[in-house]
Structure 1
Amino acid sequence: MDLGSGGAGAEALAYAMRDVSLPERLACASRSIVGRLVFTTSFGLEDQAITHAIFRAGLDLHIELVTLDTGRLFPETYDLWAQTEDRYGRRINAVSPDRAGVEALVSRQGINGFRHSVEARKACCDVRKVEPLGRALAGAAGWITGLRAEQSAFRAAVPLAVQDSGYGLTKVNPLADWSREDLARYVADNAIPYNPLHDQGYPSIGCAPCTRAVRLGEPERAGRWWWEQESKKECGLHLMPAQNVQEQSHDQRA
């Protein structure tokens, strides 16, 4: 399969990924995408499932694993990072924020100034997440994520694969059609290490100051930036540039 045809190639990949297992979906992406293929993990339940499939599939998957170390993660997340490396005998490379950018941000808004406004919070996410992601994906031909359609209303149409014109690569979401129950079953069946915060009411785990446990009946991402009005609950990693708004019906990657 040649993905040089852009959107049409991504649609063909998405079609090929239907009705096959997670390892087979990853193998299909690895075979189809010519060039660097990067998986960005935040050590959530989805990402742990994908990590397990990459390392234990018995396939020669040329997939790089990186994580964005914002400097504000939960201690449990750092512990899981070490536990995951021990379990699979592989290093997960960190991409950290630019030091000068963090220092300027904290000087400008204070250590927890992101709570003052949506704009301040987005500025923090830009420095700690979005800019490092750009470096992590520089020169990559494909990007694997743990997005699932069930996570939020804004992600409801997330496809298995899509051409991401913002980063100029093929974005692969191998768990797009999985339910929370599918995910929990896969993790349990394979004894995959996971963050203990998931058992304490944290279905979605980001930076510690920006994440709380969800209440009964709340959606999965309700605990993210909870002081803001309910909206898309996104940090900007999966948002499209303004010039790509016309493509949003095909790529609900926010």
Structure 2
Amino acid sequence: MEKFDLKALNDQYSSATDVVKYSLEKLGTSKVALASSLSIEDQVLTHMLLELDPKARIFVIDTGRHFQKTYDLMEQTMLRYKFNYEVYAPESKDLEETVSRLGPNFFYESVELRKKCCEIRKVKPLKRVLSTVDGWICGLRRDQSPTRQDMHIFEWDDGNSIYKINPIVHWSEEQVWEYIKANNIPYSHLYNTGFRSIGCEPCTRAVQPGQDIRSGRWWWEDPDKKECGLHLGGHKPA
């Protein structure tokens, strides 16, 4: 694995395109992958990545509970860019045992059970794909939530022992939309109906003007602690 000087890289790089290009060159196309949830941020990075390398790896974790519009956007994006997503799903044994014991909507009952659902449907499949790479690219932005305000472009992910690269971490939501429109990038039309952050259908709802970007995710929980577990690996900028 190419060793990164994280502090030097964070001081040197600010252009998202340059960050993506550097990551592909230093880690290699087969050893770095974009984690896409089909968000506007991930659609921006999908466009950047495939413009630089049509063989770049982009994966989706299919939790089995996504909006139909998310699956529709997957197909639309594949047709637009002429590529195939790598798709990872929960282990059927874990899912069958848990749903049989607790019911299909057990995640509403407590924070602990919601985290258990995310662990089965998201975190475990993520770990499978991350075991095949030396770095993963994410569409995280600092202004998305209080838990993301200290993130950097280049980080070390302690939880998965790989590099984590956040090329647009310093972008505003407005900058994301400007890039989407300038490049005619396909996006979920749920954004046109009040959604600002899109996850699994049972755990996501539209938000009101002026509300926090992620306030529609797990809306019944403390906003300062809401994460699904994908991005809680103990990240270090240096």
| Fold shared by both chains (TM-score > 0.5) | yes
Alpha-carbon separation, structure 2, partners of 1:208 and 1:144: 24
Of 195, 199, 209, the match for 1:202: 195
Instruction: Please say if 1:136 is aligned against 2:129.
Output: yes
Superposition pairs of residues 214-229 of structure 1, within 5 angstroms: 214-229=207-222
> Using the alignment, how far apart are the partners of 2:101 and 2:7 within structure 1?
44
Aligned twin of 1:12: 8
SS of 1:4's equivalent in the other structure is: coil
Alignment partner of 1:28 is 2:22: yes
Quote the offset at 1:23 in angstroms.
2.4
Q: Which amino acid aligns with 1:161?
A: F
Report how many aligned residue pairs link the two structures: 237
| Contact 1:13-1:32 within 8 A present in 2 as well | no
Question: Tell me, which stretches of 5 or more residues in structure 1 are unaligned?
Answer: none
**Cross-structure match for 2:108:** 115
CA distance in 2, matches of 1:158, 1:212: 26
Query: 1: CA distance between counterparts of 2:128 and 2:85?
Result: 16
Following superposition, the deviation at residue 154 of structure 1 comes to: 1.5
TM-superposed CA distance for 1:63, in Å, is 3.1
Equivalence for 1:45: 40
Paired residues of 2:106 and 2:113 also in contact (CA < 8 A): yes
Cα deviation for residue 36 of structure 1 reads 0.5
1:9-64 per-residue CA deviation (whole Å, 9 max, x = no partner) reads 2233323322x2x32221011122356101110000000000011112xx347631
> In structure 1, which of residues 149, 158, 174 is the aligned counterpart of residue 151 of structure 2?
158
For residue 169 of structure 1, report the CA deviation from its aligned partner: 0.8
1:166-177 alignment, distance < 5 Å? 166-177=159-170
Structure 2 residue runs without a partner (length 5+): none
Distance 1:101 1:115, change over 3 A: same
On the 8 A contact 2:145/2:224 being kept in 1, the answer is: no
Within the candidate set 202, 220, 223, 1:230 is matched to 223
Q: Tell me, what secondary structure is at the counterpart of 2:3?
A: helix
Give the AA of the match of 2:3. Answer: G
Q: TM-score with structure 1 length normalisation?
A: 0.88
Distance in 1, Cα, partners of 2:54 & 2:78: 17
Letter matched to residue 12 of structure 2:
A
State how far apart, in whole Å, the 2-side matches of 1:79 and 1:180 are: 23
The residue identity in structure 1 corresponding to 2:26 is S
Greater RCO, 1 or 2 (C-alpha within 8 Å, sep 6+): 2
Alpha carbon RMSD of aligned pairs, Å? 1.8
Shift of 1:216: 2.0
From the superposition, tell whether residues 163 and 77 of structure 1 become closer, same or farther in structure 2 (CA, over 3 Å): same
| Distance 1:12-1:189 versus aligned 2 partners, 3 A rule | same
SS at match of 1:163: strand
Q: Look up the match of 1:190.
A: 183
